[in-house]
Structure 1
Amino acid sequence: MPTATPPHRRLAAAIADLHRALLGAQAAGTPLAGNPYALLQAVMHDPDFAWLRDFSNLLLSIDEAGAKGATPSPEAMRSFLTRAGHLLDGGDPATMQSHTMLQMHQLRPEIATKAAAMRQVVEDLRQNRS
Structure 2
Amino acid sequence: MSQPTGLTADQLHTQLRRGASGVAELAAIDLLITAAPFVLTPTRPDVVRHAIADNTGLFLRLDWGGLMVEVDQGRIPLSRGERRVVDIALSLALPGVTVALGHALTGLDNIAAGAVLGAVRAVLTDGADRG
Greater percentage in strand: 2
Q: TM-score range by the shorter chain?
A: 0.3 to 0.5
